[in-house]
Amino acid sequence: MSMSDNIPSTEVLPPLRVVDGDSLVWDEHCDVLVVGWGAAGACAALEARAHGADVMIADRFTGGGASAKSGGVVYAGGGTRHQQAAGFNDSPEAMFDYLKHETGGVVSDETLRRFCADSVGNLQWLESHGAPYAHQMPPGGKTSYPPDGYFLYYSGNELVPDHGGPLPPAPRGHRTVGKGQCGAVLYAHLKAACLKAGARPLLQVAARRLVVDYQGQVLGVELWCLPEGSKQARRHARLAARAERLQNFSPAYCKALRRKVCQLERDFAQPRLVRARNGVILSTGGFIFNRQMIEQHAPKFRRNFKVGATGCDGSGLRLGASVGGQGSGLERVSAWRFINPPYSWHKGIVVNREGRRFCNEEVYGATLGQPLMEEHGGKAWLVLDAPLRKKAIGEALFGGYWWFQSLPALALMLLKVRKGKSLGDLAGATGMNPAVLRASVLAANAAARGEAPEPFGKSEGGRQVLEQGPYYACDISVTNPVFPLGALTLGGLRVDERSGAVLDAQGQAIGGLYAAGRTALGIPSHLYISGLSLADCVFSGRRAGAAVAGLHDQPSRSTHAHEMT
């Protein structure tokens, strides 16, 4: 690993152990301290405030995190008013049947049913805090993200025959109403709601260690704070904002910016001890920006484009682990290889470097990206014939797609493409095995003609005979710089599924410590579909906020923890 790949992460120290809370001079006091002010932290703070707790929120930057950089899609079903307005009669049972397949047992059925049953109410709760939603659905086929003006869509594999449950599919991707990527819109409403509710923010502060007594009860946090309003704090904010803004365009430059941000924290931050009488909630996101943790837990994904924010460096996970918290599912990473739009792409076939087809091309991007990365070394081709390529180019030019959908697709089909007059020529141009590639195309063609079963369960509408040369192979590998393959970590700290309390190796709750969002093992921790993480931020954030505020009994031993299968 070169130094250029190594972005310094928040330093996490062993816990500060004290006899009791009164033996220390605290700089601040509160009932609940939330560490990390993204969507999960905001939801936790709002719920705790709603139950009368005095809440402080600490954030290494100025709030937002990965949530503010997201598309602002919340996976919600079971009969939201927007689904009903669009003519869909969804139910919690149908939502559960579908998600049971996608989540792979990462949480208990009881928790998944509660997530589905609470879904309508959680979307209404977001709306009560100002976040707007609507029912307009995009025209045409499946998309990775709907155009402006459209706010309800099939955001997962609901329409894929092998993935849907026995009940009719329904669109459950609720995009927050706004222009462009709407995560910033959603977060702005949550942040404003926190301030209106009286939560007290501490900004540009990094949580370096937990404070515990000798029984292991978490009493508070040692924060390292840049001097408020100082020249260094202003520069820190400026560099961090630039890194987030330019990450998609110049990752190497942004690595250098993040190193400067870390250096400012090391040189100028000062410690401050915050006592949290009821407990601490860790909600700092995942660890996609922690190269060492990726190498340790998910090395197959080290070459992926990082999806997230600078604060996604695993600090919450490491803080929890410092007092005995157990990580789970840390090897699970969502790798998005969308091949829609252009809509016609899914009618081609995806093959590995040998030329062997390995998936149903209709599936959601992470469902395709997972086997691509885990089983095929991150290397694959999308094979099209001449008419299909021509149609896809027209869609990319005139289909009304986002620039981040159309431009990479055009670059892939026009610049980073291999061509052959015949399948044999194409195999020679790509290094594929001619016999294997030919067999893959002939099997798909036979299914498209109705002469044989479809090998991977593609729907009839997604099948097309590929027989008119020249043939084209678009490089959809992780190493292709014009078509980035983004990744987001999914695993987190094991928690009691009733409360969000962090669990130790014996399944016991660590007193005073909770986790939410991607810091915790949760609903999307097996396999991601769009909107599921933000929905889980609401679900797990509200759960932890209510528990730490004292609404529920504090668990002494988790009987509802669910080990990932």
pTM: 0.93
Instruction: Give per-residue pLDDT as tens, 103-122.
Output: 999 999 999 999 999 999 99
Mean pLDDT of 368-372: 95
Q: Where are the domains of the chain?
A: 3-70+182-334+486-548, 81-174, 338-475
Cα 42 from Cα 490, distance rounded (Å): 19
Alpha helices in 352-472 (DSSP H): 365-375, 386-398, 403-414, 423-430, 434-448
DSSP assignment of 304-349:
SEE-S-TT-SSHHHHHHHHTT--EESTT-EEEE----SSGGGGGSE
97-101, 153-157, 249-253, 331-335: least confidently modelled range: 249-253
Cα 6 from Cα 255, distance rounded (Å): 8
pLDDT for 553 equals 40
Instruction: Give per-residue pLDDT as tens, 447-457.
Output: 999 999 999 99
Closest CA to 70 of 288, 340, 283, 307: 307
Q: Does the pLDDT value for residue 162 go beyond 90?
A: no
Name the architecture of domain 3-70+182-334+486-548: 3-Layer(bba) Sandwich (3.50)
State the average pLDDT for the chain.
93
Q: Does the pLDDT value for residue 478 go beyond 90?
A: yes
Cα 360 from Cα 447, distance rounded (Å): 13
Two tokens, residue 421: 């007059």
Q: Does the pLDDT value for residue 8 go beyond 90?
A: no
208-217, 398-407, 428-437, 463-472: least confidently modelled range: 398-407
Closest CA to 29 of 61, 60, 53, 10: 53
Instruction: Give per-residue pLDDT as tens, 518-554.
Output: 999 999 999 999 999 999 999 999 999 999 998 544 4
Instruction: Give per-residue pLDDT as tens, 188-206.
Output: 999 999 999 999 999 999 9
Question: Which CATH fold would you assign to the domain 338-475?
Answer: Flavocytochrome C3; Chain A, domain 1 (3.90.700)
With a CB cutoff of 8 Å and minimum separation 6, the contacts of 556 are: 508, 509
DSSP assignment of 495-561:
B-TTT-EEE-TTSPEEEEEEE-GGGB--TTSSS--TTHHHHHHHHHHHHHHHHHTTSSPPPSS-SS-
Q: Does the pLDDT value for residue 561 go beyond 60?
A: no
